[in-house]
Structure 1
Amino acid sequence: MDPLQEQIVRLERRNNALRLNGNTVNGRTADIAITTRGSDWYFAVCAVMTVAGFAFTGLAMRKPRHTRVFHYITSAVVFTAAIAYFCMGSNLGFTPVQVEFFRSDPKVRGTLREMFYVRYIDWFITTPLLLLDLMLTAGMPWPTIFFVIFADWIMIVTGLVGALVTSRYKWGFFTFGCFALFYILYHLGWESRRNANRYGNDVGKAFLFCGSLTSVLWLVYPIAWGVCEGGNVIAPDSEAIFYGILDLLAKPVFGALLIWGHRNIEPSRLGLNIADYDNDVAVHEKRPTNDYGVLVAGNNTGVTNGATTTTTNGTTPAATPASDSLGGNVPTHNPAV
């Protein structure tokens, strides 16, 4: 074998995650688990999430600080997902769970199926952030936002509990999660959509595109749960592809669409009056002053060549004292008076 072929073989064998991190957890071995192809796919999705996170953060740096709220929230979503997908690609963050339905198909034949609980940790963090993106865009009041996020947490937790239950009672938790999902979709499709239109046509369109994408995708997630964790119908590698495609559309694609929609929308129009610390009096008070109480920047000793003004306590501008020929400050009062 020539050196080039040896290098190709080494590259093909580079993913040793399944060999280093086996399918045995707490004394139980999952006999229905991902293969190297599934691990490769998880790592690929991790890479896309990471690149998207740096892209969103880079775009944020091009904007004033007080307008970066949607960039930062969306970056947090994809960075969190990147960590979760790295964990799943490494064949970590799972537990073997006994299946309810035993199948004859070789790809799903067995007793214990690999169930990635780290996926639900990811969703517990990222789905509320996605809803926050949408509901802030719609200008919804904070009590409504908190309650919708609570419903989202109910949906995620009941999905996790249902995935861990081995009996048919798992479908009861699945039903609770679906009710929570329908409540969320009601708010996105009705109340939030109507409220977004009040802020202008551009805000209404931004919410409509992103909200519609989220609503359609989130309706597919219960189907994925039913054929994966719930019914043991498709293989774990197919599960990885199914959930991976949904997450790529629901996070990086959603994020790009949202940031594009907000390109000309000031957060203040949506009721987000975010103050920048450039105008923070408390910060300015910590800066050095000269003998006359005038703020000094950097190594400036307070000596000026011309007439300048500086604000004090954020209210009335104070004139900088004139400079004498010796480099000192000349008093502004008349000593004879």
Structure 2
Amino acid sequence: MGNDVFRHNGFTNTVTTNNHITVRGSDWYWTVCAVMTVSAFGFMIHSYFKPRSQRLFHYLNATVCLIAAISYFCMGANLGWTAIQVEWMRSSAKVAGNMRQIFYVRYIDWFITTPLIVVQLLLVAGLPTPTILYTLLMTEVVVVNGLVGALVKSSYKWGFFTFGAVAFFFVAFAIAWDGRAYARVLGVDVLRIFNILAAWTILLWTVYPVIWGVSEGGNIIAPDSEAVSYGVLDLLTKPVFGAVLIWGLRNVDLARLGIHVNDAHPRIPRAEPAPRTEKDAEAAAASNGATATTPATTTATAPETAV
């Protein structure tokens, strides 16, 4: 699809590109945006059926989906991108251009949401705070290297790709090894949901570098195919991940995971007003099948004096 047709459909920006998404790619981005938005509202609405001390994962997943929705809104509107000269020119008409469209807004999304996903896994396992912080830092290293590599036109991009892959190994090791060891102590039910989510997350996250390698990296697949691939992965690792997590912990008190939330106004049954008169007390006792008793009055007697 040439630049003239591209502009005719309303896709314009200040950077010139001849290797970009089409209307179909934009429509897919809008679809993912809608799903992310609905998911964010769903997590928030569901949180109101839980005590405030049990809402942490609802809030985190709602935040993840809302940020992703904003990112996909931006990409659907054909914003938040720049054009980078490709390392290899391809003969296919779909990727024939030498200036490929790179959505940097996608990496802003990942920079915020990926650590929020990791922290949920590690909180479920009950890992200590230093390990959680270290793993989150490695997660940021993965995303930053992916962004820098995508914005580099020369073969140096694969050096950043390698640094990101090494950092991802540390993240996966912390989840699969340390996480399972700590989750096992918390009980069979916690270990089960952790194993499911850990395997699900690590498996899907290993697909992201593959997509990067054939799109931003190697310029093999078209930007529309890139959009579909990343969109499906984001749906599986964000709203689907969050739904499975909340369902798996539906009967688990977060205090078991070492998460203690102080609620200044907990939901407690409203106490009945205290009786104001003796008749009110008798009526309340009668309704409870008991007999009202009144405090006995005692009279003080002076001690006898021996004469």
Shift of 1:73: 0.4
Rate the CA distance shift 1:238–1:199 in 2: closer, same or farther, 3 A. Answer: same
**Is structure 2 residue 248 aligned with structure 1 residue 261?**
yes
Take 1:278 and 1:47, find their aligned partners in 2: how far apart are those partners? 34
Match of 2:203 in 1: 216
Partner of residue 180 from structure 2, selected from 187, 193, 198 = 193
Shift of 1:304: 7.3
Determine what percentage of the aligned residue pairs are the same residue: 52
Partner of residue 36 from structure 2, selected from 49, 53, 60 = 49
Rate the CA distance shift 1:247–1:169 in 2: closer, same or farther, 3 A. Answer: same
For structure 2, list consecutive stretches of 5 or more residues without a partner in the other structure. 1-5, 267-272, 279-307
Take 1:306 and 1:133, find their aligned partners in 2: how far apart are those partners? 54
Shift of 1:20: 3.7
Partner of residue 61 from structure 1, selected from 48, 56, 61 = 48
Take 1:118 and 1:177, find their aligned partners in 2: how far apart are those partners? 18
**Is structure 2 residue 95 aligned with structure 1 residue 124?**
no
Take 1:49 and 1:240, find their aligned partners in 2: how far apart are those partners? 15
1:2-41 deviation line (CA, Å, top 9, x unaligned): xxxxxxxxxxxxxx9974441x43xx31100000000000
Match of 2:276 in 1: 305
Take 1:197 and 1:158, find their aligned partners in 2: how far apart are those partners? 33
TM-score, normalization by structure 1: 0.77
Aligned counterparts, 1:1-337, within 5 A = 19-22=9-12, 24-25=13-14, 28-278=15-265, 305=276
Higher relative contact order (CA 8 A, sep 6+): 2
2:276 maps to amino acid: N
2:247 maps to amino acid: W
Q: Residue 29 of structure 1: SS of its match in structure 2?
A: coil
Shift of 1:158: 0.6
Q: How many residues are paired up?
A: 268
Shift of 1:303: 10
2:21 maps to amino acid: I
TM-score, normalization by structure 2: 0.84
Please tell me whether the aligned partners of residues 18 and 36 of structure 1 are also in contact (alpha carbons under 8 angstroms).
no
Q: Residue 278 of structure 1: SS of its match in structure 2?
A: coil
For structure 1, list consecutive stretches of 5 or more residues without a partner in the other structure. 1-15, 280-301, 308-337
Q: Residue 58 of structure 2: SS of its match in structure 1?
A: helix
Please tell me whether the aligned partners of residues 154 and 180 of structure 1 are also in contact (alpha carbons under 8 angstroms).
yes
CA RMSD in angstroms, aligned pairs only: 1.9
Please tell me whether the aligned partners of residues 18 and 90 of structure 1 are also in contact (alpha carbons under 8 angstroms).
no
